[in-house]
Amino acid sequence: MNTGVVLNIDPLLRITALTGGVGGAKLIVGLAALLPAEQLLVVANTGDDFEHLGLRICPDLDSVMYALGGVADQQRGWGRADESWQCMASLSEFGAEDWFSLGDRDLATHLIRTQALKAGMSLTALTQQLLAKLNVAHAVVPMSEAPVKTMLETERGELGFQHYFVRERCEPAVKRVHIEGIKDAEPAPAIEQFHRLPGRHATVICPSNPYLSVDPILQVPGLHASLAGAPIIAVSPIIGGSAVKGPAAKLMRELGADVSSVGIAQHYQGVINALVIDHQDAGQANAIAALGIEPVICATLMRSNEDKEQLAMTVIDTAERLLDARQY
């Protein structure tokens, strides 16, 4: 399927894909299967990054990297395949913090990254170096080199992302989300460089959590502005009133949003030009169109690699169609 499809894609098309971790990474795999490296830039959320046991951990960057490298665990949905947990067992034995699962293989990534950053290497350069070792040619860059922190004001007080997501298992109701340090952040230089490349540019917002994965990227000062003038297509992470994975639906409810693709369209109103929604939500198309956003209906649940490429093709088709209409 792959080869046949690629031939139809405009070689001048350039896609900037904004993504969180697991769900977004699936679409990234589809996009990378269809687009050569020079036509795709993956921008990953780093608001979830944190320092744990002295290590710099970048869950979303790593999820995308492992997915593209073909070393992600498919069953578990996060981390590496063929993983073991011997270091964790010893950490527990010694009474160290063990609420955040660090696989033995995964640890190598964090050790290398922590040391490289300490030695002054950029997160962008380090990620590219690791990707190369996994034989991935596509570029995956952090939204910013600056450390920012997604913080959740909850009924149990303010929590960092991983403390909310992993330690508290998303249980506390969320009142507000804010991104610490975002005002001082700048987009990673590679993003601007990619946008300056000649070609027809479009942006894809992957089916990641809008509040926790995409908003931090869009809030990096100057990043959204650098996307303007080119169409932005989002894929809804909500299917039939619930999230495929993760706390998106619960969070939308707590923050007073409509848990539906219409709610997603409302959230991204003024930012996106089209929203890809699942067949199940076809009935919401008119309400989405009424917000000035073009609804695109297809199958959005990605189980197989074929699903991923099919959805990526729909997104690419939409981008080309919007570019052809010259509204941008």
Q: Which stretch binds a copy of itself (CB under 8 A): 35-43, 109-117, 136-144, 165-173?
A: 109-117
Residue with tokens 């039939």: 240
Which one of residues 101, 115, 193, 269 is an interface residue with a copy of itself (CB under 8 A)?
115
Q: Is residue 111 within the footprint of a copy of itself (CB under 8 A)?
A: yes
Q: Is residue 42 within the footprint of a copy of itself (CB under 8 A)?
A: no
Q: Using DSSP, state whether 144 is helix, strand or coil.
A: strand
Which one of residues 86, 101, 193, 242 is an interface residue with a copy of itself (CB under 8 A)?
86
Q: Is residue 104 within the footprint of a copy of itself (CB under 8 A)?
A: yes
Nearer of residues 8 and 115 to a copy of itself, judged by Cβ? 115
What is the C-alpha separation between 305 and 268, in angstroms, rounded? 27
Q: Is residue 80 within the footprint of a copy of itself (CB under 8 A)?
A: yes
Site string for a copy of itself, 133-152 (x = CB under 8 A): xx------------------
What is the C-alpha separation between 215 and 18, in angstroms, rounded? 10
Does the CA dihedral 241-243-159-223 come out positive or negative? negative
Q: Which stretch binds a copy of itself (CB under 8 A): 35-43, 128-136, 193-201, 312-320?
A: 128-136
Q: Is residue 73 within the footprint of a copy of itself (CB under 8 A)?
A: no
CB of 130 to a copy of itself, least distance (A): 6
What is the C-alpha separation between 137 and 135, in angstroms, rounded? 6
Q: Which stretch binds a copy of itself (CB under 8 A): 13-21, 85-93, 153-161, 210-218?
A: 85-93
User: Of the candidates 159, 195, 199, 194, which has an alpha carbon nearest to the alpha carbon of residue 175?
Assistant: 159
Which one of residues 10, 73, 83, 254 is an interface residue with a copy of itself (CB under 8 A)?
83
Query: Which residues, in sequence order, are CB contacts of 163 under 8 Å at separation 6+?
Result: none
Assigned token pair, 196: 């300056």
What is the C-alpha separation between 267 and 252, in angstroms, rounded? 10
Which one of residues 5, 6, 13, 55 is an interface residue with a copy of itself (CB under 8 A)?
55
Which one of residues 6, 77, 100, 105 is an interface residue with a copy of itself (CB under 8 A)?
105
Nearer of residues 103 and 263 to a copy of itself, judged by Cβ? 103
Q: In DSSP terms, which residues pair with 276 in a beta bridge?
A: 235, 296
The count of residues interacting with a copy of itself (CB under 8 A) is 32
If you write DSSP's letter for every residue of 282-325 in order, what string do you get?
A: GGGHHHHHTTT-EEEEE-----SHHHHHHHHHHHHHHHHHHHHT
Q: Which stretch binds a copy of itself (CB under 8 A): 51-59, 145-153, 266-274, 277-285?
A: 51-59
Q: Is residue 130 within the footprint of a copy of itself (CB under 8 A)?
A: yes
Give the Cβ contact number of residue 66 at 10 Å. 25
Which one of residues 1, 12, 37, 108 is an interface residue with a copy of itself (CB under 8 A)?
108
Nearer of residues 132 and 228 to a copy of itself, judged by Cβ? 132
Contact yes or no for 79/72 (Cβ under 8 A):
yes
What is the C-alpha separation between 208 and 103, in angstroms, rounded? 24
Nearer of residues 1 and 134 to a copy of itself, judged by Cβ? 134
What is the C-alpha separation between 95 and 105, in angstroms, rounded? 21
Query: Which residues, in sequence order, are CB contacts of 23 under 8 Å at separation 6+?
Result: 206, 207, 208, 209, 237, 244, 245, 246
Contact yes or no for 101/94 (Cβ under 8 A):
no
Which one of residues 12, 37, 89, 282 is an interface residue with a copy of itself (CB under 8 A)?
89
Residues within the interface to a copy of itself (CB under 8 A): 53-55, 80, 82-84, 86-91, 93-96, 103-109, 111-112, 114-115, 118, 130, 133-134
